[in-house]
Amino acid sequence: MKIVAFVFARGNSKGIKNKNLLKFKKTTLLGHAINQAKKINGVKQVFVSSDSKKIINYAKKFKAKTPFLRPKKLSRDNSPEIDSWRHAIKFLYQKLNLKPNYIISVPTTCPLRKVSDLNLCLKTALKKNLDIVFTAVKSSRNPYFNMISKRKNKINIISKHFDKKNRKILSRRQDTPQCYDLTTACYVFKPNYVMQSNDLFSGKVDFVEIPRERGIDIDDDFDYKITKLLSQK
């Protein structure tokens, strides 16, 4: 069983400048992600994918593998994350002749997750032979009752859950299914699945629930301040 870890860290970030190199604890967000990736059970190699030479050089200080510089076209604000995954997979296949059974992506922007969360994601994927595993937290508000749209001055609730068995629309929050927010704490996936699938939710998919505070994703300065405060507890 071959398992490798990747940290995807582009140079330009829209919300916060040089976000991946922001200080976190005794290192940086990037350094912290690399250190966590090294501690995942079964992971022998940790790679960093970036379009930034500064980030690549910094990653080398943590002995992460940096065999390529990601193309700029895959590192724009509107570039889908999956394109960076596919670029990395192609490089492993074609240049390193490395075909891992699973890749685990450890984003820099969710530093409050624990190594145990990463291990549980990988364990879940292996145990169930899943194509991809996400992380999620319980939604703070139920979207069936709290999401609305406005079109031509008309307000509509976006979603109403229909009870097919009893042929009625559910009107109590307690009767609707538990909803979750996807987080960026971790992704575990089969490389072949990512290369072949146009819909990541079309295969054998599951998620690992983590506490809300460990699923905070740093998008802006407010998120960063909250994350630093929580990390001091």
Q: Which domain holds residue 150?
A: 143-174
What CA–CA distances, in Å, run from 11 to 145, 192, 207, 223? 39, 27, 29, 19
157 shares a domain with 227: no
**Whole-number Å distance between alpha carbons of 189 and 130:** 8
Inter-residue contact 187 to 194 (CB < 8 Å): no
Task: List pLDDT tens digits, range 92-127.
Answer: 999 999 999 999 999 999 999 999 999 999 999 999
109 shares a domain with 188: yes
69 shares a domain with 17: yes
Looking at the 3D structure of the chain, how many domains does it have?
2
User: Given CA atoms 114, 127, 84, 197 in this order, what sign does their dihedral have?
Assistant: negative
104 shares a domain with 56: yes
Domain CATH code at residue 111: 3.90.550.10
Task: List pLDDT tens digits, range 22-63.
Answer: 999 999 999 999 999 999 999 999 999 999 999 999 999 999
149 shares a domain with 131: no
62 shares a domain with 46: yes
188 shares a domain with 148: no
63 shares a domain with 21: yes
The angle at the Cα of 130, spanning 10 to 211, to the nearest 5 degrees, equals 65
105 shares a domain with 220: yes
